[in-house]
């Protein structure tokens, strides 16, 4: 008995050492895509400013506060306390793995190592990794939870190389493949979950990933089955409805989160196989959402579904801006950016990140809002293992380093203007491959100036791109005595002989934009400065008894007011503007929507005109 105990502990220590080794290595897929990414993120470090501040809040006040016992409770004692509790471990492992890949923080590594060990021990002999009793398997959110199980385990494997995590994902996927299909004796995947098959059908994404990680043809075959099942009578008709109408409200029951989750899998299948029709259909879906169903803060959904064109009601009573939708919309844009390299997708990433994503996590507490309304108090909550969005919003924040910049068609391209350091390899004009380090220093989004230091490993001729935001004016890049100017929505390309220490001075104006309220708020306007939508925070404006009082009278005169913010308001950005309150001229304070409401006050983005 003592000998067995000794052997167990030796094996356990070796397994933990294996998952802790070589924290810089990425354990990637073994099957290449037919469609190579046009955008490849650089390795970013030391991200500062607003984004770095909020990434640190996400780590310290959210991810490191996760209690593994709560997340694992539904696996250790089945059934779980609620039907979707099984998704939270996988979502946490995604966030933790992405965060660890960026900062190599030993604390988050220890937390996810411990959780993975306990999670693997919860898998049943047949591969089942859900929280339902045997009699209730494959109902409601069971397949959905297996989706996130595989996603989380693959992400963990990718940063650790810990093979038991991969093997656990394989066992879970094999059970899914044995259970569902259109062959004799198999169950219909589309009826094994919610929302006309959109929820269970979203398992396409990790099945594509697992095929690429293992090369096992059965996973590719299952992906093809899912695409067929989408179009069967019980399915959501994703392909046929988008092809016929180009309207996401015609797909399934128009449930936004689950539909976007399916889109992620279809895009990955397109990259794997090169079947062009899928890309075209999803670019059509993207345009439909962006043109007709996107809030100015970069989210979508009202009561969790896509609404008719232009219907963008924004109060708490509308259950708008579900956090899961925000994050999956970000993932959708990131994949389209990777596939196409087109800067319009980076524009949408910036909009979502600087507004609705950051707004959904309280910088004072790390608590998260399920829905984040533009009008009213943000309903922040701190629970774990219950609300889906409280596990999703940290995933979006953990993706920020992948959006900052990288190579587009082999050319290094700055996409977001934030403090940080980027490292990559690029081809020079003479066909040599050189290392490149880029360092950015800026006060953005407080001001439109960015100092960029370019450090190639050897003096060489190559190109560097700078994204020119749609909201910017007078964008310029100065190197020595030469000035380059950029056009809105495009990339400014600078080709020259670069040497270590070359300095680029980026400058742009951030004019105040006035946004009309559309059909939902016809008598109101909103303010946007740079990428940031602004809001009135009632707690910062004691002169306002209600947020229905102020009426904008001078919409152009914005004055810096950061000195008025309270001491516990860490990100110091505030402005004042003249408004009429009860027929009296008053200075009203505006702050970024992302920061508004952190002390539980009511807020308003849409203001009477």
Enter the tokens of residue 20.
Answer: 């802790």
pLDDT value, residue 550: 79
Looking at the structure, tell me whether residues 59 and 142 fall in a common domain: yes
Q: Is residue 437 part of a domain?
A: yes
Q: Is residue 221 part of a domain?
A: yes
Find the length of the chain.
Answer: 609
Asked whether residue 2 carries a pLDDT value surpassing 80, the answer given is: no
pLDDT value, residue 8: 37
Looking at the structure, tell me whether residues 418 and 457 fall in a common domain: yes
Looking at the structure, tell me whether residues 467 and 524 fall in a common domain: no
Q: Is residue 108 part of a domain?
A: yes
Looking at the structure, tell me whether residues 449 and 524 fall in a common domain: no
Q: Is residue 365 part of a domain?
A: no
Looking at the structure, tell me whether residues 479 and 558 fall in a common domain: no
Looking at the structure, tell me whether residues 88 and 123 fall in a common domain: yes
What is the rounded average pLDDT of the residues 179-186? 96
Domain that residue 458 falls in: 408-509
Q: How far apart are CA 346 and CA 352, in angstroms?
A: 10
Percentage with pLDDT > 70 across the chain:
96
pLDDT value, residue 9: 39
Greater pLDDT, 2 or 62: 62
Give the CB-side neighbour count of residue 44, counting CA atoms within 13 A.
29
Looking at the structure, tell me whether residues 146 and 52 fall in a common domain: yes
Which is nearest to 449 in space by CA: 492, 506, 405?
A: 506
Q: How far apart are CA 41 and CA 412, in angstroms?
A: 9
Omega before 338 within 30 of 0, i.e. cis: no
Q: Is residue 588 part of a domain?
A: yes
Which is nearest to 298 in space by CA: 236, 238, 354, 252?
A: 354
Mean pLDDT taken over the chain: 94
Looking at the structure, tell me whether residues 549 and 571 fall in a common domain: yes
pTM summary value: 0.95
Strand residues in 393-543 grouped as ranges (E)? 405-408, 411-414, 420-427, 433-442, 449-456, 460-467, 473-479, 482-485, 491-498, 502-509, 512-516, 524-529, 532-537
Looking at the structure, tell me whether residues 504 and 481 fall in a common domain: yes
Please count the structural domains in the chain.
Answer: 4
Q: What is the CATH number of the domain that holds 425?
A: 2.60.40
Final residue belonging to a domain, choices 278, 309, 340: 278
Which is nearest to 541 in space by CA: 523, 560, 566, 559?
A: 566
Asked whether residue 27 carries a pLDDT value surpassing 70, the answer given is: yes
Dihedral-angle region of residue 600 (phi above 0 means left; psi in -120 to 50 means alpha; beta otherwise): left
pLDDT value, residue 23: 55
What is the rounded average pLDDT of the residues 581-607? 95
| Minimum mean pLDDT range among 12-21, 407-416, 565-574, 579-588 | 12-21
Strands 460-467 and 411-414 come out as parallel
Looking at the structure, tell me whether residues 503 and 413 fall in a common domain: yes
Scanning the structure block, which residue is given the tokens 């396409």? Answer: 204
372-383 residue pLDDT tens: 999 999 999 998
Q: Is residue 335 part of a domain?
A: no
Final residue belonging to a domain, choices 225, 249, 278: 278
- For residue 449, what are the CA distances in angstroms to 131, 142, 417, 419, 494? 51, 50, 9, 11, 18
Looking at the structure, tell me whether residues 205 and 122 fall in a common domain: no
- Coil, strand, or helix at residue 267? helix
Looking at the structure, tell me whether residues 121 and 185 fall in a common domain: no
Q: Is residue 244 part of a domain?
A: yes
195-219 residue pLDDT tens: 999 999 999 999 999 999 999 999 9
Neighbours of 594 (CB within 10 A): 29
Asked whether residue 15 carries a pLDDT value surpassing 60, the answer given is: no
Asked whether residue 327 carries a pLDDT value surpassing 60, the answer given is: yes
Final residue belonging to a domain, choices 157, 188, 218: 157
Q: Is residue 421 part of a domain?
A: yes
């Amino acid at each position: 008995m003592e000998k067995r105990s000794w052997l167990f502990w030796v094996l356990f220590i070796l397994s933990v050492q294996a998952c802790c080794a070589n924290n810089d290595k990425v354990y990637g897929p073994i099957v290449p895509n037919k469609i190579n990414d046009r955008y490849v993120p650089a390795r970013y470090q030391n991200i500062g400013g607003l984004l770095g501040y909020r990434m640190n809040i996400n780590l310290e006040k959210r991810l490191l506060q996760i209690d593994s016992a709560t997340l694992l409770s539904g696996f250790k004692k089945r059934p779980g306390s609620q039907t979707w509790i099984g998704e939270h471990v996988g979502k946490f492992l995604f966030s933790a793995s992405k965060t660890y890949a960026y900062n190599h923080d030993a604390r988050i590594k220890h937390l996810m190592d411990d959780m993975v060990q306990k999670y693997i021990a919860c898998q049943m002999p047949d591969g089942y990794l859900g929280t339902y009793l045997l009699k209730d398997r494959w109902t409601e959110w069971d397949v959905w939870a297996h989706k996130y199980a595989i996603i989380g385990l693959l992400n963990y494997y990718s940063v650790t190389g810990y093979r038991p995590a991969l093997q656990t994902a394989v066992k879970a996927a094999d059970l899914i493949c044995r259970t569902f299909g259109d062959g004799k004796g198999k169950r219909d995947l589309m009826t094994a979950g919610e929302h006309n098959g959109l929820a269970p059908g979203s398992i396409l994404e990790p099945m594509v990933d697992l095929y690429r990680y293992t090369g096992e043809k059965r996973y590719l075959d299952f992906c093809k089955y899912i695409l067929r099942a989408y179009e069967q009578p019980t399915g959501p008709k994703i392909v046929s409805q988008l092809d016929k109408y180009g309207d996401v409200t015609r797909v399934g029951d128009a449930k936004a989160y689950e539909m976007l989750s399916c889109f992620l899998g279809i895009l990955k299948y397109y990259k794997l196989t090169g079947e062009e029709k899928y890309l075209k259909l999803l670019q059509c879906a993207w345009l439909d959402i962006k043109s007709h169903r996107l809030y100015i803060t970069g989210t979508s959904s009202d009561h969790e579904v896509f609404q008719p064109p232009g219907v963008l009601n924004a109060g708490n009573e509308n259950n708008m801006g579900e956090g899961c939708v925000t994050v999956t919309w970000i993932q959708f844009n990131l994949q389209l950016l990777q596939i196409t390299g087109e800067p319009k997708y980076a524009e949408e990433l910036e909009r979502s990140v600087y507004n609705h994503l950051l707004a959904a996590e309280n910088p004072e507490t790390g608590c998260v809002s399920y829905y984040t309304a533009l009008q009213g108090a943000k309903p922040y909550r701190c629970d774990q293992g219950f609300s889906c969005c409280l596990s999703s919003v940290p995933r979006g924040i953990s993706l920020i380093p992948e959006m900052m910049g990288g190579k587009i068609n082999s050319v290094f391209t700055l996409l977001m203007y934030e403090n940080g350091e980027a490292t990559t390899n690029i081809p020079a004009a003479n066909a040599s491959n050189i290392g490149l380090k880029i360092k950015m220093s800026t006060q953005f989004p407080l001001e439109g100036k960015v100092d960029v230091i370019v450090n190639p490993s050897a003096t060489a001729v190559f190109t560097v791109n700078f994204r020119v935001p749609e909201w910017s004016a007078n964008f310029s890049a100065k190197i020595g005595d030469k000035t380059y100017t950029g056009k809105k929505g495009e990339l400014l390309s600078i080709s020259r002989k670069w040497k270590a220490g070359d300095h680029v001075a980026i400058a742009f104006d951030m004019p105040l934009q006035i946004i009309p309220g559309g059909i939902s708020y016809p008598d109101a306007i909103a303010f946007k400065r740079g990428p940031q939508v602004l809001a009135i925070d009632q707690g910062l404006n004691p002169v306002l008894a209600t947020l229905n009082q102020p009426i904008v009278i001078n919409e152009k005169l914005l004055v810096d007011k950061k000195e008025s913010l309270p001491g516990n308001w860490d990100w110091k950005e505030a402005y004042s503007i003249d408004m009429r309150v009860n027929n009296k001229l008053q200075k009203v304070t505006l702050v970024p929507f992302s920061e508004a409401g952190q002390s539980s006050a009511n807020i308003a983005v849409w203001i009477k005109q």
